[in-house]
Amino acid sequence: MPHNGQMKLFTGTANPALGQEVADFLGISLGGVHISRFASGEIYVRYEESVRGIDVFVLQPLSAPVNENLVELLIMIDALKRASAGRITAVIPYYGYARQEKKTAPREPITARMVADIITTVGADRVLTMDLHAPAIQGFFNIPVDHMTALPMLAQYIRGKGIANGVIIAPDAGIVKKAEKLATMLDLPLGVMYKRRPAHNVAQTTFVIGEVDGMQPIIIEDIIDTGGSVEQVIEALLSRGALPEIHILATHGVFSPPALERLNHPAIKEIVVTNTIAIPPERRPANLKILSVAPLLGDTIRRIHQNISVSALFN
C-alpha cells in the first residue's frame, strides 16, 4: 500500500533514548505506543494514535535481551500492519544474530537468515540497519535494506586526535576491507591480524601482517562483545613492540560479561563506540566514548521518506 506522505517514528523498549534523539533530529514527536508484559511474560503492544496510510519507522536494536527485543519488534510490526500503516520500515541499528550468518559445522542453523525471514514475513516493507557483521546479510532480505555505516563518523573522531604514528589494525580477515577504508581516510598504514575461534566466545589471535613496532595502534571492530578479541589483539600488538596507547573503534558496544574486566587494560587509551545499543552506566568500561548515530539515522530516515538517495551519507 503506498503511504500518504505523512511520516511517524516509534521506538521499542531496547533503546528509547536513541529513538528520542532521532525524533529530535527530525523535529518530530515520537509516536505514542504502549508496550507492556503480561504476567506470563507475553508482550502486549498497542499504538496510541492512528497509523493508517502513514510511512512508519519503528526503531529497535536487537541487543540483549535479544530474543525479547526481537519478538517485541515483530509484534510492533504486526500491529502496524493490522492498523493499515502505509509503509513499515524496521530501523534496526544493531542486527543481533548477525554472527550466525553461515554454517561452520554440520547441523547448525543460519540464524541471521531466519531473523531476516521472520521480519519480512511479519510485514516489514524495508529495513534500515548499520554495520552488519557480514555485509552479505543485506541479501538475506528480499525487501530493500539500507545498510549504513558509522565508519566516517569514527574516522572523523579519531582524526581529531592527531595521532601521527598511528597504524590501523584489522583484528581478523572479516574486517580487512573496512580497516583498509579507514586507513585510506586517515592516511595511515594498515596491520592485519589472524583470528580463530576454537570455541564460542573464545578468540585466539595468532598472526600479524604489517609493522607495529613503536607505533600507536587504532583497532577497528564492528562489535565489541565479551572483549576477548580485543584483549588478544592487544597482547599480540604489545608483544610486537606497539606502544601501550591503543585506541579501539567499534560501531556496536555489546559489552557482555566479562567485557568490563577484559577492557580495563592499562594499554587502552580510549574505546570509541556508538549508541546503536543502549549501554547502561554499569556496563561501560573505563575510557569509553560514545558517539551518537542519531543524526545519521535521522538523515537516512528523512531521505527514505522523501525517496531520495542515501549514498551521500557514506562519505
One character per residue 99-128, x = contact with ligand R5P (rule: CB under 6 A): x-----------------------------
Is 195 noted as a catalytic residue in this protein? yes
Asked if residues 31 and 9 have their Cβ atoms less than 8 Å apart, the reply is yes
Q: Is 93 one of the binding residues for ligand R5P (CB under 6 A)?
A: no
The DSSP output letter for 29 is P
Asked if residues 64 and 259 have their Cβ atoms less than 8 Å apart, the reply is no
Asked if residues 252 and 276 have their Cβ atoms less than 8 Å apart, the reply is yes
Comparing CB distances to ligand R5P, the nearer of 285 and 298 is 285
Comparing CB distances to ligand R5P, the nearer of 72 and 221 is 221
Q: Give Cα 95 to chain centroid, integer Å.
A: 6
- Of 222, 246, 265, 277, the one binding ligand R5P (CB under 6 A) is 222
Q: What phi, psi does 47 have (nearest 5°)? A: -75, 140
In 3D, which of 84, 78, 69 has the Cα closest to residue 19?
Answer: 69
Question: What CA–CA distances, in Å, run from 119 to 72, 90, 122, 238?
Answer: 11, 8, 5, 43
Q: Is 221 one of the binding residues for ligand R5P (CB under 6 A)?
A: yes
Q: Is 21 one of the binding residues for ligand R5P (CB under 6 A)?
A: no
Taking the complex as a whole, the smallest distance from the CB of residue 197 to ligand R5P amounts, in Å, to 8
In 3D, which of 312, 306, 299 has the Cα closest to residue 27?
Answer: 299
Q: Which three cell numbers stand for residue 289?
A: 566514548
Binding part of the chain for ligand R5P, among 80-88, 121-129, 150-158, 227-235 by CB under 6 A, reads 227-235
Q: Is 182 one of the binding residues for ligand R5P (CB under 6 A)?
A: no
Q: Is 228 one of the binding residues for ligand R5P (CB under 6 A)?
A: yes
Marked catalytic residue, from 8, 195, 269, 289: 195
Question: What CA–CA distances, in Å, run from 190 to 21, 23, 111, 159, 167?
Answer: 35, 38, 32, 15, 6
Taking the complex as a whole, the smallest distance from the CB of residue 141 to ligand R5P amounts, in Å, to 21
Q: Which of residues 192-211 bind ligand R5P (CB under 6 A)?
A: 201, 203
- Of 60, 226, 274, 276, the one binding ligand R5P (CB under 6 A) is 226
In DSSP terms, 195 is beta-bridged to: 205
User: HSE (CB half, 13 Å, CA atoms) of 281?
Assistant: 0
- Of 225, 242, 246, 297, the one binding ligand R5P (CB under 6 A) is 225
Asked if residues 205 and 171 have their Cβ atoms less than 8 Å apart, the reply is yes
Q: Is 55 one of the binding residues for ligand R5P (CB under 6 A)?
A: no
In 3D, which of 120, 59, 84, 119 has the Cα closest to residue 6?
Answer: 84
Comparing CB distances to ligand R5P, the nearer of 197 and 303 is 197
Taking the complex as a whole, the smallest distance from the CB of residue 215 to ligand R5P amounts, in Å, to 21
Taking the complex as a whole, the smallest distance from the CB of residue 233 to ligand R5P amounts, in Å, to 9
Which residues are at the interface with ligand R5P (CB under 6 A)? 99, 133, 171-172, 174-175, 201, 203, 221-230
The catalytic residues are 195
